[in-house]
Amino acid sequence: MSKPVVGIIMGSQSDLRIMKEAAEVLDELGVVYELTVVSAHRTPLRMVEYATDARSRGLQVIIAGAGGAAHLPGMVASLTSLPVIGVPVKSSNSIDGWDSVLSILQMPSGVPVATVALDGARNAGILAAQIIGASDQTLASRLDEFKKSLQSKVEIAAKNIET
């Protein structure tokens, strides 16, 4: 089995119900990933180690999901030059998820996080694959097929409702 190129991390095991959607779409696209829990607040040293070792371990993209005071994606982005995709998770204590969205979205200049929609882990997986696909022709072809399948679904739905 080849080495993971995408790292999926989340602030708590409670985020897995959302973050597993990133893993599922990477499975569909044939992208090898690893998945674990890293908390910016509860395990800060583990976060530093994960982010600083990520590139040397072969990762090319990190997907980081967190809820509430969701500092994990931004802090990881501050520690690595790998692209970081942030997934705001609507946790049970959230104020409608705005806390998660704004914590991840409003990054200072110089430290970007590619933020997807609230609970948008599936899109985070697709975006990670697209970043890797920019220099991987086999994956790019798979992504082209994936895009065509989205188009076909809409065309079939359109035919079904047209009168």
**Residues that bind ligand RP5 in the complex, under the rule CB under 6 A:** 11-12, 14-15, 39, 66-68, 89, 91
Query: What letter represents residue 162's amino acid?
Result: E
The minimum distance between CB 27 and ligand RP5, in angstroms, equals: 23
Question: Pairing state of beta strands 6-10 and 61-67?
Answer: parallel
Tell whether 15 is in a known binding site. yes
Nearer to ligand RP5, 68 or 133 (CB): 68
The minimum distance between CB 20 and ligand RP5, in angstroms, equals: 14
The minimum distance between CB 151 and ligand RP5, in angstroms, equals: 34
CA atoms of 60 and 83, how far apart (whole Å) = 7
Q: What is the DSSP letter of 88?
A: E
Tell whether 12 is in a known binding site. yes
Q: Which of 132, 126, 133, 128 is nearest to 149 (CA)?
A: 126
Tell whether 100 is in a known binding site. no
CB 115 within 8 A of CB 103: no
> Residues marked as binding for substrate?
12, 15, 42
> Residues marked as binding?
12, 15, 42
